[in-house]
Amino acid sequence: MTSDETQASFIDHPLIESLLERHTRPDAARVREILSKARLAKGLSLEEVAALTGLSDPELLGELFAAARHVKETIYGRRLVLFAPLYVSNLCSNECAYCAFRARNKEVDRRALTQEEIAQEVDLLVSQGHKRVLLVAGESYPKEGFDYVLGAVRTIYGVRDGNGEIRRINVNVAPLSVAEFVRLKAEGIGTYQVFQETYHRETYAKVHLAGKKTDYDWRIFAMHRAMEGGIDDVGIGVLFGLYDWRWEILALMQHIAELERVFGVGCHTISVPRLEPASGSLIASHPPQPVSDVDFRKIVAILRLAVPYTGIIMSTRETALIRRETFALGVSQISAGSRTNPGGYAEGEHYDGSQFALGDHRLLDEVIRDVATLGYIPSFCTACYRLGRTGQDFMDLAKPGEIKAHCDPNGLSTFLEYLLDYATPETRSVGEKLIGEVLAGFSDRARTRSERMLAKVRAGERDVYC
Ligand code: SAM
Ligand code: SF4
């Protein structure tokens, strides 16, 4: 059992340091060679990723972005998957210096939603048109313990409102034991997410001051235990701003390589949160190693080239402008209309109970209209997970490019569902125009398949997927 190891030696600190030292100013010819390999969408080696992190020449930067756009377009086309976070509790026994939910922070109103309150939140999300939620909680549960989370998953799946329902729940809660992962999997969750925050041990120790989260290795082996527990879609991430982003990207690559080595498949998604102001946290407003907007775009572009088939998630921590810019560079999933305070959908956003400040406050309908105006297809598709196309099975379809034949029509049919059931007239007209344009660009076979599915949706059928 791999997770019985106690030290994550696969994060090789000296190797990362020496690679970064060697690549502070990569040679232009070498960068171009790497970028032309990257355009084949087969991924990059650790050394190649290190070289890309070092580039700063504006011309090369432009070429990096162009390569990322090319890979994003080839693999994901114009789809962007939408979800909403659902904060069920901000009780927490840890002391993460950057987070408003940390145990000793007195500035935050604590609460764990009751199952009825969770259902009420879900009802509101469903009535906006959401089909996917990310369940989020601090690391301390009400008296039921971990059963509270399992109950929340059941409650969320149980909500029905007209045509509306949540079809996929992803979960971002503190690392679990293998036995707990088995139980979580049995509730039918999609992806299990947890972010290492920083892979750099020394920095990790400095910002995690008390509680179970002080244990770097328990956290980093969470994905091993999740996979041993049968969860084959896992999501990892770095909280950017804590340590040097170049270092973190290489460590993230080593984490993925380790999962591939042990389980034959890496992670399903990568999240790229940047530190945002949080009540009661100095470090959140003054990140020790801030990541500039240019570097943030670089991070997304490099990840897109390094692991072309892994989803990249962009949350509403970022502003609408940054979000727009990164869609083209590689982002494949975005949250919209988010609240980070438990009860926030019913009661509105308030900073006292929130985990951090949001950068994008727009409602789902506005985000969808914006995304569609830019030519992206907002997708609520959940087909893969429901048809068991997860983990290795998903990658086997994704790598030869076959997944697109499913994603494109599924994206359009779920978008049309949204337009018919929830959109404002303005968004509906932007959306219908986009659907027409997208269909015109499909091959004959894809168009026929898609039109058949769209006709079913127009006739009142819902949840049409292939
Ligand atoms: N409590 C669990 C944990 O820490 O893994 C799960 C949920 S935690 C609420 C979700 C994530 O929020 C953390 O992993 C961290 O990366 C992020 N986060 C915490 N404080 C933040 C801040 N000030 N700005 C941006 N993201 C933050
Ligand atoms: Fe608790 Fe998670 Fe916030 Fe840390 S990041 S204080 S574990 S909610």
Would you list the domain boundaries of the chain? 13-72, 74-362, 402-458
**Which of the listed residues 355, 356, 360 should we mutate to test ligand 1's pocket, taking the one with most ligand atoms within 8 A of CB?**
355
* Spans of the chain, pLDDT less than 50: 1-3
* Cβ–ligand 1 contact at 318 (below 6 Å): no
Pick the ligand that lies closest to the CA of residue 103: 2
* Cβ–ligand 1 contact at 193 (below 6 Å): no
If DSSP codes are grouped into helix, strand and coil, which group holds residue 37?
helix
**Number of other residues whose CB lies within 10 A of the CB of residue 382:** 21
d(CA 248, CA 33): 24
Nearest CA to ligand 1 atom 3: 174
* Cβ–ligand 2 contact at 340 (below 6 Å): no
What are the structure tokens assigned to 298, written together? 């670089």
Question: For ligand 1, what atom is nearest to the CA of residue 271?
Answer: 16
Pick the ligand that lies closest to the CA of residue 195: 1
Pick the ligand that lies closest to the CA of residue 283: 1
Nearest CA to ligand 2 atom 8: 138
What are the angstrom distances between the C-alpha of 449 and each of 177, 409, 432, 452?
Answer: 43, 7, 18, 5
Pick the ligand that lies closest to the CA of residue 209: 2
Question: pLDDT tens, 114-162?
Answer: 999 999 999 999 999 999 999 999 999 999 999 999 999 999 999 999 8
Q: Phi and psi of 433, rounded to 5°?
A: -65, -45
d(CA 34, CA 332): 23
Instruction: For residue 62, give the amino acid letter.
Output: G
What are the structure tokens assigned to 22, written together? 């060697």
d(CA 271, CA 348): 25
How high is the pLDDT of residue 205?
Answer: 98
The CATH class of the 74-362 domain is: alpha beta
If DSSP codes are grouped into helix, strand and coil, which group holds residue 276?
coil
Instruction: Calculate how far, in angstroms, residue 309's C-alpha sits from the geometric centre of ligand 2.
Output: 29
* Cβ–ligand 1 contact at 356 (below 6 Å): yes
Question: pLDDT tens, 32-42?
Answer: 999 999 999 99
* Cβ–ligand 2 contact at 219 (below 6 Å): no
**Which of the listed residues 87, 90, 93, 94 should we mutate to test ligand 2's pocket, taking the one with most ligand atoms within 8 A of CB?**
94
Instruction: Calculate how far, in angstroms, residue 303's C-alpha sits from the geometric centre of ligand 1.
Output: 21
Instruction: Calculate how far, in angstroms, residue 100's C-alpha sits from the geometric centre of ligand 1.
Output: 9
Instruction: Calculate how far, in angstroms, residue 10's C-alpha sits from the geometric centre of ligand 2.
Output: 25
* Cβ–ligand 2 contact at 113 (below 6 Å): no
Nearest CA to ligand 2 atom 5: 99
Nearest CA to ligand 1 atom 18: 99
Instruction: Calculate how far, in angstroms, residue 27's C-alpha sits from the geometric centre of ligand 1.
Output: 37
Q: Cα 466 vs. chain centroid, distance in angstroms?
A: 23
* Cβ–ligand 2 contact at 139 (below 6 Å): yes
Pick the ligand that lies closest to the CA of residue 341: 1
Nearest CA to ligand 2 atom 6: 102
Contact call for residues 328 and 348 (beta carbons, < 8 A): no
Instruction: Calculate how far, in angstroms, residue 275's C-alpha sits from the geometric centre of ligand 1.
Output: 9
* Cβ–ligand 1 contact at 105 (below 6 Å): no
* Cβ–ligand 2 contact at 389 (below 6 Å): no
* Cβ–ligand 2 contact at 409 (below 6 Å): no
- Which of 211, 135, 222, 219 lies closest to 172, judged by CA? 135
How high is the pLDDT of residue 157?
Answer: 97
What are the structure tokens assigned to 2, written together? 């791999």
How high is the pLDDT of residue 433?
Answer: 97
**Number of other residues whose CB lies within 10 A of the CB of residue 325:** 17
Question: For ligand 2, what atom is nearest to the CA of residue 213?
Answer: 7
Instruction: Calculate how far, in angstroms, residue 456's C-alpha sits from the geometric centre of ligand 1.
Output: 41
Give the CA count within 13 Å in the CB-facing half-sphere of 54.
Answer: 22
Nearest CA to ligand 2 atom 4: 96
Q: H or E stretch including 60?
A: helix 58-76
How high is the pLDDT of residue 1?
Answer: 42
Q: Where are the beta strands (DSSP E) in 238-286?
A: 269-271
Pick the ligand that lies closest to the CA of residue 313: 1
Question: For ligand 2, what atom is nearest to the CA of residue 99?
Answer: 3
How high is the pLDDT of residue 394?
Answer: 76
Residue-wise burial string across 217-255, b where 16 or more C-beta atoms lie within 10 A, e elsewhere: ebbbbbbbbbbbbebbbbbbbbbbbbbbbbbbbbbbbbb
> Would strands 160-161 and 164-165 be described as parallel, antiparallel, or unpaired?
antiparallel
Pick the ligand that lies closest to the CA of residue 198: 1
